[in-house]
Structure 1
């Protein structure tokens, strides 16, 4: 029963949303889809799942091996059609993929029709390749059956291989010239060729049942055991001399060549023996003896010369007949392969005719090889007619600037370059923008033999891109204005807090307002950096913290004996982490300035920010002051600042460690706060 299960596709795509969308489209068209996001997992899945029929392989797979490496390892363990999905159009990438597999190379923006058609084409090509492999195996088996010493010729007969009619005509002429006859029989004793047979054989020995049995025994049994390329002389049971040489085909004994019914020169036949044979089998004695006397007599030299010739002739007949059979079978297989090729070409033609791209190719002389309907319509618009196959595609009817432009494109590709270009055209009748992808065509020897071009209208896309750019520019201006206004408003609030602090007499109230003002300064620094930056999503941590430390220490002029040192690595972090880091640094530095050095002692505060090997970021704030109480619990402290630090570290999945030796040291680690651009590959 024919297997009708749906085809199973392995989709290797590291972008989850893209993978889900493509899987839904494929499942809608009757395929079963298995998804994985890495090349390593794809290799394991192919090894474990024999039901996978085809692989859709993204080339860029993020971390780990890429799609081309995964494909090479998969093909080492299984023969599967692999279609590469990529946005790459570089010649180096195309050549790299061509060396791995030729089932498909689909650009990601080609559309669902091209993807689905490429899958169908890959299955058809794979099936054709499998049929070709099977056909090649059959050809090898047949040729091996004819030529190889261990070939299986059990189903082949000598008359299936040798043109016996041609041999018979040739031997007739040879007998007329030499009067030396010959017979070719298969291993079952069937006479295939016969010339110059003697009357004693045809009228007597092969007529009587018992003597005919002797003849058959001579043809099949007594002639056995003769080595290829040699001959044997023996006396048959009818008391006549026979000689035999085997006909070997592919090491298989399929027949014999005989020279028989003769007597040696100077040999005197025993007529009494033959007279008794006549009486035993009921032959007419006089006629039988008369036939005996007409049997030819040859010298041993003549016999050896003739049989040497016949031995070589037998070998030649076998070799020539086998060559003809080989040629006939190869031609039959060739026709079968040509039929598959024609079918494949028809499918390819259907594919390029039904795409919404303009596709054509030219040879080394810029003459048309093939063009689809979009191309023909476009040329009808440009030239006023549809160019025929082999027609020159840079005629003077095309404006000179356009001719020179396209000749340059063709020449670049003919020198081995593959590239994309955007240019204005009138293919659709109206001025529009087209994107063209040009690739070299290579023949079986790898030499460039032409150029293939695929183009599509991008006019609407260009308009959309222009509109998007305008919107982005407006958004950028709006964001800059928002950041500027927020910064100014927060600066105004800081100024109001500072003015209000001057009017207060309660020292605790002054301290709280001062701390609040410093916290707001940490935020103002962020908005100032965002306002001055071209990227509103990231902050340079070193620049931000350096400016923030300056603003904090500036508000404590009385602490001039305290030295603030910093060692901050140059990192870009996501702006959403800048706020909590700024607040944490502000709280720790402010606390150190207020409480670590009572009575205006001298001392040192150090701030270190480093990136760790696991991409986490470590902040260390230490001072050599009097330290804080050893029994303090950061999660239950009454200090608003320390409690705020604990909450912020917990909110962003960080870890905090407090060390009381030689002053106070806070070590805070945040995982994965670097800018996403740091992880792009």
Structure 2
């Protein structure tokens, strides 16, 4: 309706609540939208002055009560119509941004205002000329329509409000009735006092567990029967005589009688009963209670016998000792309660037990105490021993204190609980320390999770473009048309890319050491070959910098050892990289020496990296192996680097059981050395495994990858390996392809828009309509390479896993293993 009015008059209409939130609105005024709202100062002026009532307009016209005419500083007019329900102003309907047909606007003032706010003067005046103009008769008609519309809203809202109130009241009454009935049933069964109800014919209509226990019969054997059915004839006659007297005399009747249960146990019982009438005054029957006096007499006697002993112990105890009866009131409390809670013993005895505890603590304490003799409670368990729990108690001044309370049931000769003894002590300081420890632990765990998530995301984002770079370089390397120089350049680029990947892995590796998830592999290796590999990796960089890079391996160093060559090479890569970085001229030398070992059968090797670089000040050497440490903050800008290399070196060497050291002279060079022990005798390094047969060219592979560069890389890899590849961009497209075509293998990227790789895999495995495609081997090809990622993908239904950036040889082997069923 508001939109229709706007189309007819071009005047915006808005409904706002009392907090100025828009509930309904049409398009804004073109003048306000194009000019005033776009300038902060103009917008602020509108908000500040736009609400000024137009007193002259209100007096000049017959304005209905509550309607406000407003005149903004820009000359525009607005009208507010209040929306009320039962006299309460809940919202307003605003009729905005128009002019009367007899309003005049000063062009000079408008031009001055346009210049002040930086508006185009002619466009500003033209927009004012386009502002809707209405006659006062038109405004009165529109205002009358708005008032009728507001009245309709108010009446409908009032009707809805009253209906909602009636429904809510009915619902609340029903819930209260149900709650009261549940409460009465629970209370009846929870009370230790025996309660019964029988009609005017003497037939029992209901009773609680305590009454059933008193007469020695289950409730179902009592309800629906009379005293003649459940008691000896002489006792039934006594009960009937008292009932008749009660009907005749009314009031409350109390008497004592002997009760003999089914086991012939005799008890002296006091009955208290009254006549029960319905709301209309009609007689319904008798409601009463029965109290076993013998139990109380025994309890009274035993309590008297032990009272002095209790008092002697409790009065001199540092902890608070209290005896709580079955009415949940203290029968005794030791003087130390004043030190714990601020109450004197007499003040504490005058209060209910629940007055000493916060509601939740008292609820747990009561449940713990009642479990000793009542069935049907949630989580009921035997309460044969003392229970130790922690509660929050309320002090006299309103403050709270944590206490540890040991609650022990006190039983009579029959084994029934008739009271509890509780011993409480203040543990507030201990709880405060525990809270601080928990908070610190949670903070540390949160920081660890944040770091792990950051490292995982960083690894993924870097590995994805590296996959395209590595892939294209590998494709160029396999091109038979490149010359020797070009092949060398490609090889250097590949090695440099691998070095970059090593740096990324080092960052992740630092996290693995922090979380204890770093892994080590033991296999035969050649120390000399490991050094050659490192030299080759930096040869081009050394030449570019005009440095001499060489190595010296002593003749007595064994040709083959057993150890983790990857970790040894990782340490050397860091040390040589650092040496080259901080050596402006001269040389860098790697040396390997065999030194005396204290253990028989072990070869102890000392690896050293020596340079003629800038050196390190003596006072900085102690911090050089700390994470992210720099000798000088300016080095970060001058030489680059994150300062994690030497920290990782030390952690690796420590885990390998070795030692690392450093000697340096400012402007005189640095030598970093580490010593490791390896088994002196081992098998020769095994030759490479024989080549696996080439794939059948007929095999078809479906590739699901959203990144275009990685699509091209993977497709070219597969074509080079002799496969027929089909590439799609989403998991949904992969499922549709499997539905209409047959493939031998599905290569699945994990992180994709829409369905990710894991969701797509689960959908394929669950879709019976795919036929053979449901069980197609799936290889995860992903930049997710953190610890646990491989296991997560395999558990989702994938058959194999390969991390980006992808090596073509590794891809070939994985695909062959999948087709031969050798992967997990």
TM-score normalised to structure 2 length = 0.26
Structure (1 or 2) with the larger CA radius of gyration: 1
TM-score normalised to structure 1 length = 0.30
